């Protein structure tokens, strides 16, 4: 490091400038925010740039299968109580996107960084984080991703001996396995509805016993650690036993869990839970998710759900029947090209909702719903589905690229 | 089995239900109920005994370590062998298919004994995983339309003399032996690499299992319009250049 007034080497500075210029050109060409391409160019010019940029920041990493983007946002809001924050708020969560985000934060004190699961170990090595938040791990895009348990193993190896405070979900056995190689863990009982990726002990392969909220392996003794923080209904319980109400605008149990983990992270940096939570209440939508938009004189709430665990949490937060529901599923590269996962989602939970399906793989959804004995309408377009939907706010649930398509259509 | 009931056993969902293959159980269950059958579906976890009185047993795909654990527990349990001895129908997918053979390569890179219910031996390929949509022709003896499915595996499965290829692929890798075969079967035991899930993409295979279990030649027709639409789309899409 060259000194406080000028922390970047000439090479790093050149890389940042070149990256910004490319990003601006990409934006001007209408190709999105340009953060990924800009970061890629910058990293090529200076491969150590991520480490260099991270040097003068307190880095917080956030990783999970679900809830990364939202939790990153909640932590960023909370830490703004303590100082300026830079963050990859739009979810560009691989090294190029992260580098690009940090390059824009030279005056910040904290960097709150969402990291793709596959890159967590590498980014943790490069950025020397003060804190790492691990929320959950479950099956996702198995046609191109590593096996879920292998991901936990990979985290475990990458985090062994890390100096960071690891804030980890005590209710997810795979996360506990990943985190327990770290010397300094803060356990949060954040809950987890989806259990089907952790019936087999990540340590010895024994069958997990899961009475109530507890879990343990009957064979090797691997068990749920005692949490110091907990989500309890609508409250966060802190390590002193105080209960703080959660009044988020974001819906659902999963977001309360994200808030509990975020409060635990904020406390690592001296921000008390009531201050942290208060600041999270301002968050209304995250990268378009949970946004209520007006379209064809109707209210549509846009919900992103990419995998069975995500759909399960989403079904639990939608308005009750007869609220109409639109489901949209694609299977492009970013979604995973195998739609078999739809069969791990329990669609009988939609009983009583008028259901409309669209997206590239609407016929997979149609067969899935037929077998779940649900009534549904197959639609060609969002406009058609909205037209057919009975009165009331419409819940729209879509996977990744389907969600992007919907946002484009409603102009959000 | 009694006249109007069907006992459907879904083996080891805690280990072998990673790739949506429980859809196969849902499809068989639904199509049996639509024919007026009284279906008892039993999901058997790997710390529970396999019942020997089931009519149809389904096994799915799983990751490498769970596959080894499942093979160990199924061998120790012995119930599936006895069920097959009693004439039960077994339909297996991917990791489950390999387990039903004589042996496969486990997560430790070692040869792991299977159950020997299908005359096949599986090894592991050296190259890239086989991932993508598959299109094939099912063995003509079974009288079924084209096979559509999704494969995601690195296995190579060689068939012995008492196993017949379940299908021949037009697109995709199937058994990975280079001869175009996909899956294997004998009188009552079936194996395939296809996900999708395969019975949702090919409901007439589900009906074949029901007919074998019920020992009937035909089943009352049901409304297959969404299955047909999905099949037409997947078959046409598989034939498009990527």
Has residue A204 been placed in a domain? Answer: yes
Among A196, A218, A342, select the one facing B17 at the smallest CB separation: A196
Q: Mean pLDDT throughout B89-111? A: 97
Q: Are residues A228 and A182 in the same domain?
A: yes
Contact residues, chain B, for A199 at CB < 8 Å: 13-15, 45
Q: Are residues A156 and A271 in the same domain?
A: yes
Q: Mean pLDDT throughout B74-102? A: 98
User: A121: part of which helix (H) or strand (E)?
Assistant: helix A120-127
Has residue A30 been placed in a domain? Answer: no
How many folded domains does chain B comprise?
1
Q: pLDDT tier at B1 (50, 70, 90 boundaries)?
A: very low
Intra-chain end-to-end CA distance of chain A, in Å: 42
Contact A338, B150 (CB under 8 A): yes
**What angle in degrees, to the nearest 10, is found between the helix axes of A35-45 and A10-28?**
150
Tell me how far apart the alpha carbons of residues A316 and A397 are, in angstroms, rounded to a whole number: 12
Short-list B80, B79, B44, B55, CA closest to B4: B55
Give CB contacts under 8 A, 24+ apart, made by B138-147: B138/B166, B138/B167, B138/B205, B139/B164, B139/B165, B139/B166, B139/B167, B139/B168, B139/B185, B142/B166, B142/B208, B144/B202, B144/B204, B144/B205, B144/B208, B145/B202, B145/B204, B145/B231, B146/B231, B146/B235, B147/B182, B147/B194, B147/B198, B147/B202
Minimum mean pLDDT among A137-141, A225-229, B52-56, B139-143: which range?
A137-141
pLDDT 10s per residue in chain A (412 long)? 333 445 577 777 777 777 777 776 666 665 566 777 777 777 777 878 899 999 999 999 999 999 999 999 999 999 999 999 999 988 789 988 999 899 888 799 999 999 999 999 999 999 999 999 999 999 998 877 778 999 999 999 999 989 999 999 999 999 999 999 999 999 999 999 999 999 999 999 999 999 999 999 989 999 999 999 999 999 999 999 999 999 999 999 999 999 999 999 999 999 999 999 999 999 998 989 999 999 999 999 999 999 999 999 999 999 999 999 999 999 999 999 999 999 999 999 999 999 999 999 999 999 999 999 999 999 999 999 999 999 999 999 999 999 999 999 998 7
Identify the residue among A141, A340, A379 best suited for mutation to test binding to B, counting B beta carbons within 10 A and taking the highest: A340
Tell me how far apart the alpha carbons of residues A320 and A312 are, in angstroms, rounded to a whole number: 15
Has residue A100 been placed in a domain? Answer: no
Range of the domain at A324: 292-410
Q: Which residue of B has its CA nearest to A142?
A: B19
Q: Mean pLDDT throughout B56-78? A: 96
Q: What is the pLDDT of residue A266?
A: 98
> For residue range A331-342, what is the model confidence (pLDDT) as tens digits?
999 999 999 999
Distance between A272 CA and the closest CA of chain B, angstroms = 41
A341 at interface of B, judged by CB pairs closer than 8 A: yes
Has residue A287 been placed in a domain? Answer: no
CATH number, domain containing residue A167 = 3.40.1190.10
Residues 6+ apart with CB under 8 A from B28: B8, B56, B58, B199, B206, B209, B210
Q: Which residue has the tokens 């149990």?
A: A253
Has residue A50 been placed in a domain? Answer: no
Q: Are residues A273 and A303 in the same domain?
A: no
Q: Are residues A226 and A314 in the same domain?
A: no
Q: Would residue A338 show up in a list of annotated catalytic residues for this protein?
A: yes
Q: Determine, for residues B150 and A338 on separate chains, whether the beta-carbon distance falls below 8 Å.
A: yes
Q: Are residues A60 and A167 in the same domain?
A: yes
Domain boundary among A248, A280, A312: A280
Q: Which residue has the tokens 């969402």?
A: A114
B107 at interface of A, judged by CB pairs closer than 8 A: no
How many folded domains does chain A comprise?
2
Range of the domain at B233: 5-239
Q: Are residues A251 and A308 in the same domain?
A: no
Distance between A142 CA and the closest CA of chain B, angstroms = 8
Minimum mean pLDDT among A19-33, B54-68, B215-229: which range?
A19-33
Q: Are residues A371 and A228 in the same domain?
A: no
Tell me how far apart the alpha carbons of residues A78 and B134 are, in angstroms, rounded to a whole number: 49
Domain boundary among A280, A313, A348: A280
Q: Are residues A343 and A396 in the same domain?
A: yes
Domain boundary among A250, A280, A310: A280
Cα separation values, B98 from A76, A396, B55, B67, B151, Å: 48, 40, 21, 9, 14
Q: Are residues A245 and A381 in the same domain?
A: no
CATH number, domain containing residue B198 = 3.40.50.880
> For residue range A168-185, what is the model confidence (pLDDT) as tens digits?
999 999 999 999 999 999
User: B65: part of which helix (H) or strand (E)?
Assistant: helix B64-77
Q: Are residues A297 and A164 in the same domain?
A: no
Identify the residue among B8, B15, B20 best suited for mutation to test binding to A, counting A beta carbons within 10 A and taking the highest: B20
Question: Is A131 within any annotated ligand binding site?
Answer: no
Contact residues, chain A, for B19 at CB < 8 Å: 142, 338, 340-341
Q: Is A188 helix (H, G, I), strand (E, B) or coil?
A: strand
B69 at interface of A, judged by CB pairs closer than 8 A: yes
Q: Which residue of A has its CA nearest to B70?
A: A205
Q: Determine, for residues B200 and A371 on separate chains, whether the beta-carbon distance falls below 8 Å.
A: yes
Strands B181-185 and B164-171: antiparallel
Contact A298, A364 (CB under 8 A): no
Q: Are residues A316 and A270 in the same domain?
A: no
pLDDT surpassing 90 at residue B2: no
> For residue range A333-374, what is the model confidence (pLDDT) as tens digits?
999 999 999 999 999 999 999 999 999 999 999 999 999 999
pTM above 0.95, yes or no: no
Output B144 or A33, whichever has higher pLDDT.
Answer: B144
Has residue A4 been placed in a domain? Answer: no
**Percent of chain B with pLDDT strictly greater than 90:** 93
Contact residues, chain B, for A367 at CB < 8 Å: 200, 226-227, 230
Q: Write down the catalytic residue from A6, A234, A338, A383.
A: A338
Has residue A297 been placed in a domain? Answer: yes
> What are the structure tokens assigned to A258, written together?
């994200």
Q: What is the pLDDT of residue B242?
A: 60
Has residue A11 been placed in a domain? Answer: no
Contact A62, A112 (CB under 8 A): yes
> What are the structure tokens assigned to A253, written together?
């149990």
User: B192: part of which helix (H) or strand (E)?
Assistant: strand B189-192
Q: Are residues A230 and A362 in the same domain?
A: no
CATH number, domain containing residue A324 = 3.90.190.20
Q: Determine, for residues B195 and A139 on separate chains, whether the beta-carbon distance falls below 8 Å.
A: no
Among B13, B30, B196, select the one facing A340 at the smallest CB separation: B196
> For residue range A384-398, what is the model confidence (pLDDT) as tens digits?
999 999 999 999 999
């Amino acid at each position: 490091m060259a000194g406080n007034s000028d922390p970047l080497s000439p090479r790093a500075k050149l890389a940042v400038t070149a990256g910004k210029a490319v990003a601006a050109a990409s934006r001007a060409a209408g190709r999105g925010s340009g953060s990924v391409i800009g970061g890629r160019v910058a990293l090529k010019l200076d491969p150590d740039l991520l480490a260099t940029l991270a040097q003068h920041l307190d880095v917080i990493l956030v990783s999970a299968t679900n809830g990364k983007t939202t939790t990153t946002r909640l932590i960023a809001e909370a830490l703004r109580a303590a100082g300026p924050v830079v963050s990859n708020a739009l979810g560009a969560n691989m090294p190029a996107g992260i580098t690009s985000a940090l390059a824009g934060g030279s005056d910040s004190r904290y960097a709150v960084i969402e990291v793709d699961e596959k890159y967590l170990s590498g980014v943790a090595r490069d950025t020397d984080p003060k804190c790492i938040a691990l929320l959950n791990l479950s099956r996702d895009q198995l046609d191109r991703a590593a096996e879920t348990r292998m991901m936990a193993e990979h985290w475990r190896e990458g985090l062994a001996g890390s100096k960071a405070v690891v804030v980890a979900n005590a209710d997810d056995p795979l996360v506990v396995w990943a985190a327990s190689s770290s010397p300094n863990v803060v356990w949060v009982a954040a809950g987890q509805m989806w259990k089907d990726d952790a019936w087999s002990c990540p340590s010895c392969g024994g069958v997990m016993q899961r009475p109530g909220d507890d879990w343990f392996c009957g064979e090797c003794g691997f068990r749920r650690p005692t949490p110091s923080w907990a989500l309890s209904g609508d409250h966060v319980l802190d390590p002193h036993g105080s209960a703080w109400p959660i009044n988020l605008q974001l819906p659902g149990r999963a977001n309360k869990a994200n808030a509990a983990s975020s409060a635990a992270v904020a406390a690592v940096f001296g921000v008390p839970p009531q201050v942290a939570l208060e600041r999270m209440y301002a968050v209304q939508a995250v990268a378009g998710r949970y946004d209520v938009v007006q379209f064809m004189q109707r209210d549509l709430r846009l919900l992103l759900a990419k995998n069975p665990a995500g759909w399960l949490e989403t079904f639990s937060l939608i308005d009750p029947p007869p609220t109409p529901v639109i489901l949209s599923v694609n299977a492009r590269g970013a979604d995973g090209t195998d739609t078999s996962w739809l069969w791990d989602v329990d669609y009988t939970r939609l009983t009583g909702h008028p259901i409309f399906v669209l997206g590239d793989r609407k016929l997979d959804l149609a067969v899935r719903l037929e077998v779940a004995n649900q009534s549904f309408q197959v639609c060609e377009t969002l406009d058609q589905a909205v037209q057919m939907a009975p009165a009331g706010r419409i819940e729209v649930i879509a996977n990744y690229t389907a969600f992007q398509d919907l946002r484009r259509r409603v102009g959000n | 089995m009694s006249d109007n009931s069907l006992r459907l056993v879904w083996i080891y969902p805690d280990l072998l239900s990673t790739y949506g293959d429980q859809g196969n159980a849902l499809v068989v269950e639904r199509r049996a109920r639509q024919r007026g059958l009284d279906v008892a579906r039993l999901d058997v976890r790997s710390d529970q005994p396999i019942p020997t009185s089931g009519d149809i047993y389904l096994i799915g795909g799983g990751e490498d370590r769970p596959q080894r654990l499942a093979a160990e527990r199924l061998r120790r349990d012995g119930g599936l062998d006895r069920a097959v001895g009693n004439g039960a129908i077994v339909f297996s997918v991917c990791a489950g298919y390999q387990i039903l053979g004589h042996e496969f390569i486990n997560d430790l890179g070692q040869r792991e004994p299977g159950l020997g219910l299908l005359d096949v031996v599986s090894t592991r390929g050296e190259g890239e995983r086989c991932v993508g949509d598959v299109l094939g022709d099912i063995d003509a003896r079974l009288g079924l339309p084209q096979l559509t499915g999704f494969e995601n595996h690195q296995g190579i499965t060689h068939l012995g003399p008492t196993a017949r290829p379940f299908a021949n692929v037009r697109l995709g890798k199937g058994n990975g032996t280079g001869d175009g075969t996909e899956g294997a079967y004998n009188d009552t035991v079936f194996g395939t690499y296809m996900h999708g899930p395969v019975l949702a993409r090919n409901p007439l295979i589900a009906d074949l299992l029901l007919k074998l279990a019920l020992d009937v030649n035909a089943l009352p027709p049901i409304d297959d319009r969404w299955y047909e639409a999905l099949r037409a789309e997947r078959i046409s899409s598989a034939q498009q250049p990527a």
